[in-house]
Structure 1
Amino acid sequence: MDVVAIMEALAEQGVTVLVKADTERMAERRKPWTFVASGAPSREDVLVRTDAASMEQCLAACLPRLRELGFSFPE
């Protein structure tokens, strides 16, 4: 899975994507990864977010929801 290609495809559709790895949560053995996708032209109500133990888990949780909302991106 090409995360950069996914983020670029979403950005081209007007979605802002943020991926974060939090060192404090990692040290505390909490879900250190955050994925947030928000906004879109004429669809400012778009907000898809999750915290997870890995980047893969973030994508597994958020990408299906983004597809349901009508966004397209590479597999």
Structure 2
Amino acid sequence: MDVVQLMESLAEQGVTVSFKADAERMSDGTKPWTFVASGTPFRDDLLVRTDAVSLEACLKVCLPQLRELGVVIPD
């Protein structure tokens, strides 16, 4: 998946997206990647968030949640 295309598509739909790789958690061997999505399409300040072992694992968890909320995810 093209992450830049994904983030641009989400932003165009009013979703703010952050990816983070945490050096401390990486050196500890714990889930160093964080994905957070928030914004206009969601009610009540809802966040879609996960911590995972890889960027791909973050997407595997969060993209289905975003789809359920009505966000269009590009192929």
When residues 41 and 59 of structure 1 are mapped into structure 2, their CA distance, relative to the original with a 3 A threshold, is closer
Match in the other structure for 2:16: 16
1:23 is aligned with what amino acid?
A
Q: How many percent of aligned residue pairs carry the same amino acid?
A: 68
Q: TM-score, normalization: structure 1?
A: 0.92
Unpaired runs of at least 5, structure 1: none
Match in the other structure for 2:74: 74
- In the TM superposition, 1:1-75 aligns within 5 A as 1-40=1-40, 43=43, 45-75=45-75
Report SS of the residue matched to 2:19. strand
Q: TM-score, normalization: structure 2?
A: 0.92
Cα RMSD over matched residues?
Answer: 1.4
Unpaired runs of at least 5, structure 2: none
* Contact map agreement 1:22 1:32 (CA 8 A) in 2: yes
- Count of aligned pairs between the two proteins: 75
